[in-house]
Amino acid sequence: MPEHMGTHIDAPVHTVQGMWKTDQIPIEKLYGPGVIINVKEKVKSNPDYRVTVEDLMMWEKKFGEMPRHAIAIMNSGWSDKYPNKTQIYGSTQHTNISLFHFPSWHVDAVTWLINKRQINAVGVDTPSTDFGQASSYPCHLTLGKNNVVGIEYVANLDKVPENGSTIYVPVLKLFDGSGGPVRVFATFDDEPNITNAAAILTSLTSYFCFVIFFSMILLREIGL
Amino acid sequence: MPEHMGTHIDAPVHTVQGMWKTDQIPIEKLYGPGVIINVKEKVKSNPDYRVTVEDLMMWEKKFGEMPRHAIAIMNSGWSDKYPNKTQIYGSTQHTNISLFHFPSWHVDAVTWLINKRQINAVGVDTPSTDFGQASSYPCHLTLGKNNVVGIEYVANLDKVPENGSTIYVPVLKLFDGSGGPVRVFATFDDEPNITNAAAILTSLTSYFCFVIFFSMILLREIGL
């Protein structure tokens, strides 16, 4: 099983030498308040969309200032495309990365999350924390040099409230790893307005929901 | 990476055909109230010790009736032996399983947990849910036929309170899996009497602690 397969993290050392390897990431960086940035509408008309600082401002306008040490994940609706590789990459040519079209973060938004909100990790429901048309990897590099974890191929984000969850990213503690597979999930209290989520939740006080995962089921099919 | 490496689960199908595969285990079976059965003293004089129904009774005498759907894990202190294979297996011959000596569960205790307390999962800090000297695999078989998850090679159990935690077992959702690696962890509220744990905890309301894992760090060394 490769480190960067399925729902997985990029350890900071993946892009910047000397930064944390998978086994070195402090546990307190692997969970935090969930911040879901919903850009599904914007992505519909623009598969090259990148989450902007303005999107983050809009989230704060709705929910208040983001908690420190959050796990922020873009919900672009991209997980609906699995396991169709052509749809995931936005291209019929699956080995020519210059033709890829899928959304992700703008480096300015990532920088803002790091500097202004001390983010713990930044995630996407697409193949990369840099968008498909990226020719360089500014988000990867910014995350790496700031020792911030990236999370790729997250799923089921519609089932998690945009605010108020706790997201866990308990990556396998791979020795010397540059990343690693993980079954990300969220816990949150049941609320009357979260009907979809409620349906799959249990009756404990703190509810537990799968956030992630395409994981291996689909990965075996498409070999990502 | 093999399915049964490092801290990992055995899916019920591992021993009984037709039962849950790794990707089929319902999410609500992969977390629950933590019940830690401390048999460290008993194991010191008997490496072939098996947790008894009486041990479970003693836990209940101390903490009250076990919550339903718990994750019960034996703490035998065995994790201190890593990564020394000879100590782990209690034998210098690492391929002759008939010579193995390490503690685990007695099938009567496992049966009691299933029938009387509707346990979600049963774990050990040793290599197997059946003890080293087992010639058949009664615990594995009992867990399998009751669709109960087994967890092997758990670590850091001294850092988790014997009662009052929530334990999470977010195994990688491997398609058709007979098991899978997992970074098990526990959350619990800080309490004045948990000084060891408090030291490694964070300042959030719900505290988060590594229960498990030797994980790959040691596993790479010893190739378990």
Read off the pLDDT band of A222 (50, 70, 90). very low
Q: What is the pLDDT of residue A82?
A: 86
**Strand intervals (E) in A3-70:** 8-10, 31-38, 50-51
Read off the pLDDT band of B98 (50, 70, 90). very high
d(CA A146, CA A141): 8
Specify if A1 maps to a domain. Answer: no
**Closest residue, chain A, to B31 (C-alpha):** A208
Specify if B93 maps to a domain. Answer: yes
d(CA A180, CA A1): 9
- Strand A185-188 versus strand B71-75 pairing type: unpaired
Specify if A3 maps to a domain. Answer: no
- Strand A31-38 versus strand A71-75 pairing type: parallel
Q: Which residues of chain B neighbour A213 with C-beta distances below 8 Å? A: 173
Q: What is the pLDDT of residue A69?
A: 97
Contact A189/A170 with Cβ under 8 angstroms? no
Hey, is the C-beta of A185 within 8 angstroms of any chain B C-beta? Answer: yes
Contact A3/A177 with Cβ under 8 angstroms? yes
Percent of chain B with pLDDT over 70: 83
**How large is the ipTM?**
0.85
Q: What is the pLDDT of residue A22?
A: 93
Average pLDDT, integer, range A101-123: 98
Percent of chain A with pLDDT over 90: 72
Specify if B198 maps to a domain. Answer: yes
Q: What is the pLDDT of residue A175?
A: 85
Contact B152/B124 with Cβ under 8 angstroms? yes
Reported residue count of chain B is 224
Hey, is the C-beta of A92 within 8 angstroms of any chain B C-beta? Answer: no
Read off the pLDDT band of B117 (50, 70, 90). very high
Domain extent, residue B60, equals 8-222
Q: How far separated are the first and last CA of chain A, in Å rounded?
A: 11
Average pLDDT, integer, range A56-68: 98
Q: Which residues, numbered 10 to 39 in chain B, qualify as contacts with chain A under a Cβ-Cβ cut-off of 8 Å?
A: 23, 27-28, 31
Q: Whose CA is closest to B33, among B81, B74, B69, B57?
A: B69
Task: Select from B166, B172, B210 the Cβ nearest to the Cβ of A183.
Answer: B172
A63-96 per-position pLDDT tens digit: 999 999 999 999 999 999 988 999 999 999 999 9
For an interface test with B, the pick among A4, A159, A173, A203 (most B C-beta atoms closer than 10 Å) comes out as A173
Q: What is the pLDDT of residue A140?
A: 98
**Closest residue, chain A, to B172 (C-alpha):** A183
Q: Do B220 and A175 touch (CB under 8 A)?
A: yes
Contact A153/A129 with Cβ under 8 angstroms? no
d(CA B125, CA B6): 11
Average pLDDT, integer, range B98-117: 98
Q: What is the pLDDT of residue A174?
A: 86
Hey, is the C-beta of A85 within 8 angstroms of any chain B C-beta? Answer: no
Specify if A108 maps to a domain. Answer: yes
Hey, is the C-beta of A223 within 8 angstroms of any chain B C-beta? Answer: no
Query: Is B25's pLDDT higher than 80?
Result: yes
Query: Is B212's pLDDT higher than 50?
Result: no
Q: What is the pLDDT of residue B70?
A: 98
Specify if B1 maps to a domain. Answer: no
The full 3-state SS of chain B, as one line of letters, equals: CCCCCCCEEECHHHCCCCCCCHHHCCHHHCEEEEEEEECHHHHHHCCCCEECHHHHHHHHHHHCCCCCCCEEEEECCHHHHCCCHHHHHCCCCCCCHHHCCCCEECHHHHHHHHHHHCCCEEECCCCCCCCCCCCCCHHHHHHHHCCCEEEECCCCHHHCCCEEEEEECCCCCCCCCCEEECCCEEEECCCCCCHHHHHCCCCCCCEEEECCCCHHHHHHHHCC
Q: Do A208 and B27 touch (CB under 8 A)?
A: yes
Tell me which of A184-198, B110-124, B126-140 is least confident: A184-198
Q: How many CB atoms lie within 10 A of CB B111?
A: 17
Q: Which residues, numbered 161 to 180 in chain A, qualify as contacts with chain B under a Cβ-Cβ cut-off of 8 Å?
A: 166, 168, 170-175, 177
Read off the pLDDT band of B3 (50, 70, 90). confident
Specify if A134 maps to a domain. Answer: yes
Hey, is the C-beta of B120 within 8 angstroms of any chain A C-beta? Answer: no
Q: What is the pLDDT of residue B4?
A: 72
Contact B178/B142 with Cβ under 8 angstroms? no
Q: What is the pLDDT of residue B119?
A: 98
CATH number at residue B178: 3.50.30.50
d(CA A100, CA B13): 40
A173-216 per-position pLDDT tens digit: 888 899 999 999 998 887 544 444 433 333 333 334 444 444 44
Specify if A112 maps to a domain. Answer: yes
CA B16 to chain centre: 19
- Helix A53-63 crosses helix A107-117 at what angle (to 10 degrees)? 50
Q: How many domains does chain B have?
A: 1
Q: Do A177 and B220 touch (CB under 8 A)?
A: no
